[in-house]
Amino acid sequence: MTHQRAHLITGGFPAGASAGHDHDYARLRLLTLLAEQNIQASVANDYADIGKWLPVSRLLITYVAGPYPDAAQCAAISAWLEAGGHWLGLHGTSGGRAERVEGHRQRRTVKTAHHALLGGFFLTHPPFCRFRVDVADPNHPITQGLGAGFEVADEPYFVELQAPETARILLTASYGPDVVSDSVAALYGADTSLQPDGQTRVLGYTTQVGVGAVTYFALGHCHTPATSAATTTERGPWENPAFTTLLGNAIRAGMGG
């Protein structure tokens, strides 16, 4: 695979909806990071035309709140990864279609083919807060410059690993007793995002797929009063130098640098 382009997908569901996120801001920041590495990029709001862009791209970046690839689109992504493509999934990429659960305000994420391909399945998240992110693999190229860890303001994601035996874990967090979900057990039967120690959750990993790879980071929330029910603008991790370093490293690695 010789193409040196990236394809960026940012958007909510249904079409044109923000779904609680400032996709314009995330898109601008990601395009800026790509430009800093002289990487040309195409953009989309969902996966509808992904078959057109994968053949001319080396890196796929997704920052979405709702859109997810269907079975045919997953097959196209999988073949592209096997051939050497790299998928960098951020934040809500581990979500997707959600269903109502009787007696609960929160919805339950429906597990589909794209979760197996991505390697992560979003369960829920407690309210936006500040927490520490620990670097689990300081020797990996993607974690260079982060030290042992960093503090961040973000949504504390609960993500279930789909293939923990093959995932190389990069980032983790132990949120502590003040960051809990009252709904995760009721919605899913158990909190399957917890690691064997009963405290740690995985917030970043990378997995080889053929001669390509998938990298996912749960971090990345941002919103404005126009895109959510909030009364303030929140950039969270996007104002954190560590997150910028992480994304820059991941883009460089995804492009084969």
Residue 1's pLDDT band (cuts 50, 70, 90): low
What does the pLDDT read at residue 84? 97
Distance of alpha carbon 257 from alpha carbon 251, whole angstroms = 8
Burial pattern 61-79, b for ≥16 Cβ within 10 A else e, equals bbbbbbbbbeeebbebbbe
Tokens of 54: 């994968």
Distance of alpha carbon 167 from alpha carbon 120, whole angstroms = 10
pLDDT higher than threshold 80 for residue 257:
no
Mean pLDDT of 107-124: 97
Burial pattern 167-176, b for ≥16 Cβ within 10 A else e, equals bebbbbbebe
What does the pLDDT read at residue 3? 75
pLDDT higher than threshold 80 for residue 145:
yes
Summarize pLDDT for 160-179 with one digit per residue, the tens: 999 999 999 999 999 999 99
Who's near 85: CB < 8 A, 6+ residues apart?
1, 54, 57, 58, 59, 60, 77, 212
| CATH code, domain carrying 12 | 3.40.50.880
- Model pTM score: 0.97
Which structural domain, as residue segments, surrounds residue 44?
5-254
Q: Would you call the peptide bond into 14 cis, given omega within 30 degrees of 0 as the criterion?
A: yes
What's the domain count of the chain? 1
What does the pLDDT read at residue 2? 55
